[in-house]
């Protein structure tokens, strides 16, 4: 397996959720440490980079808990990087990414498929990671639920490496298997991560 870990020592202001276009009254749910992103140790990760073609059906998955009965998810937020660094040769090629909401038993509640282009740093003309905001029709969730994001090599998702909350996993939809969110290190060691995936709703 290819070692794709790259620790980010600094992030630009683009990682802030402030001014991202979400309505002020939306509730944002987090399953990472909840700290300011600029205070986290972060890594870039792509399922395609780690698993090759098998990564096309593998998602970064995060477990959430609905704050109240009748809560509806209205947006999925992914802190990601599409590779664009301001030069013509890094303009991303359009690819399809997938996002899903699943209930506690992994039954599919909602799926969306779209190009990565409108959501991440190339479209916003920034050269660092930024929050991709996927607005969706309201999806009612109860108790615990999962959000899956299939980056398909188009986006590197950021993961928090210094405060593991045990809410992040990898999900292979081809065989419905769930794996730990662990990245390979030298000497057969691994590093657990929290995916920087959040949801907004009301």
Selected from 2.60.40, 2.60.120, 1.10.3430, 1.10.1760, the CATH number assigned to the domain covering 23-201 reads 2.60.120
φ, ψ dihedrals at 54, nearest 5°: -65, -20
- CA 149 – CA 156 distance, rounded (Å): 11
Render pLDDT for 54-78 as a digit per residue (tens, 0 to 9): 889 999 999 999 999 999 999 999 9
Q: Where exactly are the structural domains of the chain?
A: 23-201
Render pLDDT for 153-183 as a digit per residue (tens, 0 to 9): 999 999 999 989 999 999 999 999 999 999 8
pTM of the model: 0.88
Beta bridge partners, 101, equal 110, 147
């Amino acid at each position: 397996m290819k070692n794709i870990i790259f620790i980010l020592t600094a992030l630009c202001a683009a990682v802030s959720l402030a001014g991202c276009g979400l309505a002020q009254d939306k509730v944002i749910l987090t399953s990472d440490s909840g700290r300011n992103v600029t205070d986290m140790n972060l890594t870039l990760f792509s399922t395609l980079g780690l698993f090759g073609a098998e990564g096309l059906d593998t998602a970064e998955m995060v477990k959430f808990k609905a704050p109240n009965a009748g809560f509806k998810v209205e947006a999925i937020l992914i802190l990601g990087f599409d590779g664009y660094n301001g030069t013509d040769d890094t303009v991303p090629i359009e690819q399809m990414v997938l996002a899903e909401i699943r209930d506690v038993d992994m039954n599919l509640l909602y799926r969306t498929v779209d190009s990565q282009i409108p959501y991440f740093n190339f479209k916003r003309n920034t050269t660092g990671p930024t929050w991709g905001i996927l607005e969706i029709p309201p999806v009612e969730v109860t108790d615990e639920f999962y959000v899956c994001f299939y980056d398909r090599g188009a986006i590197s998702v950021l993961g928090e490496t210094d405060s593991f909350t045990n809410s992040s996993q990898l999900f292979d939809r081809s065989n419905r298997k769930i794996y730990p969110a662990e990245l390979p290190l030298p000497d057969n060691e691994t590093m657990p991560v929290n995916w920087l995936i959040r949801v907004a709703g009301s």
